[in-house]
Structure 1
Amino acid sequence: MLQYTDVHAHYGAIHALRGVTLDVQEGEIVTLIGANGAGKSTLMNTLFGKPRASAGSISFLGQDISRHHTHDIARTGLALVPEGRHIFSRMSVLENLQMGSIFSDPAHFEADLQRIYGMFPILQQRLEQRAGTLSGGEQQMLAIGRALMSRPKVLLLDEPSLGLAPLYIKQVFNIIRELNERDGMTIMLVEQNAHHALRIAHRGYVLQHGEIVLSGTGKELLASPEVRAAYLESSAHA
């Protein structure tokens, strides 16, 4: 469904991605883990041309999107929940959700809104509240809800647990799992919290210095001595 083939990317002189090859199949949760600076967010952002892949290809539904404009890619069915959430803080909760639906059929708006309310009842209670006044966990729910309003074929989540209290972390990962199990949503997840991320993943990849160094099922990576030593000892109780 989503395929990276020998992808390289640069930030100026910095070689951020070095020949990355990975795939995400329909109906899967695929997790990408790695330390800060490993290239995880860069790999996700190359989907939208920020930065563009300097070599290799990225295909979605069989079409090479490596050179497509960002707004065209957004229309193909990819929706990103970025690191740091990037909600519209001065807008209301409802206005943020409306922004997420700009590429969707207006006829579906009310039904989609009700679906989001069902998933995140707190958002319905805060519809007219400025998004910037929500708690961190509520803002993350809003960011996910906004992305889902576009009816994506693939949901991309970049560090969704970053900066959240433990209770909200568990809620966010439960939501991700429910989206996949109940709705069949295909999900690509970039996450430092390897323990939670791999527990819900069908498959995962370990990125180090811009290269894939290990891959396997979520269970295989959870059991890997290398992964346990590098990523799990500090996150297992988060």
Structure 2
Amino acid sequence: MKKLLSTLILSAGMSLSASATTSLLDTSVVGYSDFTSGTADFGIQKDSVSLTRSEDYLILSGATFNGYGNNSRDIMTVTMVLDLSKINTPETYTTLFNAKNNSVSWGVGLNTERKLQGLWANASYSGPVVATPLGTEGSLTISVVTGDLGTRIYFGDSDTFYSNSDLKFGSQEINQILIDAGLSASIEQLYIHDSLLSQDQIGQLMSEIASIPEPATASLGLLGLAALMMRRRRA
């Protein structure tokens, strides 16, 4: 019986893993289907990355993000699933993520109105902000895309986005992603591409992310399956 249960659990685990393996997730530089675990399970550089914590930031390093488009503009896509219940409204503009090297700093943060706003040079960028404030319940998937035409923030789906044509940079190799320590607990999943994902690709990526079972759900499913097998054996 033990051998049967072990085989069953292994098969179920392989099945879950296979169902989660999809093209856009795999083409990321690095991806976390369970960010709190600290172990990257997607991406072409997933085995190289490390997560360390300073007093102020969670720091992702060990991978390089150096995709370039027209006119050597950097192209990059950062996608996160956020647990809104774990985000407190900040008293000052706070970095959600900051992609940087020694000379450039780009990303997105949360302002005092609980709205997402672009980041440049470690500070809020003076441009359009997301009109809709973050809610306080449930999960929200966002994708922040930079490239030749500036930066887009996709808010929950591929049809809802906010553009800033001036927020862009060029010929820079990003080697660190900084996440504010106070906001890191709100991140459920994280995927980073060094490519300019199109609107259709953002929709596809969000669908792929949504198809990944939550760790707790997967574990409960396996326990239920094992209990059912034990009950049948006793009968």
What's the TM-score, normalizing by structure 1?
A: 0.32
Higher helix share: 1
Higher strand share: 2
Larger Rg: 2
